[in-house]
Structure 1
Amino acid sequence: MRVQEIMTRRIATIHQDDRLQLVHDIFAQAPFRHLLVLNGQEQLCGIISHADMTAALSPYLGTDAEVERDRETLQRRAHQVMSRNLVTITGAATLESAARIMLEHNIGCLPVVEQGRLEGLVSWKDLLRQFIAKIPQ
């Protein structure tokens, strides 16, 4: 089976100059844990995981100890906290190769890119769902 058969095609993206407040709001409302970051030319330039965003924000946000300095962490830009060393895959790749790449790089998802264009995203959950679907009942 190929990545293109199970990848998510409707993907959430943000721009590199968007503020972490937007990232925080998206993660609070959505069931996914990765946002792909685009540059001014609409090309993939980074990724922000829920863990990246959490690490970039003050741990005092939303607590009684919160001060203005803590709220200011929400004004940082996406490009300041995104991962830039992207590992990508093509839609024609096998699920086995996607799983191996994720394990090798200790990452939770792979952007699917074809000829420099972002086509989708495959996550460890997508792979696990497919694995479970193959188990005889």
Structure 2
Amino acid sequence: MPSLMETYIENREMVQPNHANNLDTVHGGNVMKWMDEVGAMSAMRFAGKACVTARVNEMDFRRPILVGDTAVIEAYVYDAGETSVHVHLRAFRENPRTREREPTTESYFVYVGIDESGDPSPVPDLVVDSEEGKRRRREAVEGLDA
């Protein structure tokens, strides 16, 4: 059974002008796409099989990410059902020179494990066996309740 910390993935995207709107900030759709891709990687790492996006909780865009910033996306599985994989996702803006980082976007995505026919397929139970994993799971669950 996979542990929460084994599902942790962090990815970076350099925000270029082609990612931006007329205010030189990244389009929210690009942030959502990057979050979905990293979330799917985390879900598949956990499930050991293909996973598809089933639901996106509300997306909270708290501050912009500017052209020239690095968008940092982090994801980890915090819960699982019979076929569903629940992933906590956060995006940050990071200055590539100073490494100053601020949170920008947060959401919870649900993926479903699928078999070769594309039908829902069982996923393993989640193990939370470290203090860091327990902290991250608590953080995700508390964020849902907020």
TM over 0.5: no
Please give the TM-score of this superposition, normalised by the length of structure 1.
0.27
Q: Report the structure number with the largest CA radius of gyration.
A: 1
Q: Which has the higher helix share?
A: 1
Q: TM-score, normalised by structure 2?
A: 0.26
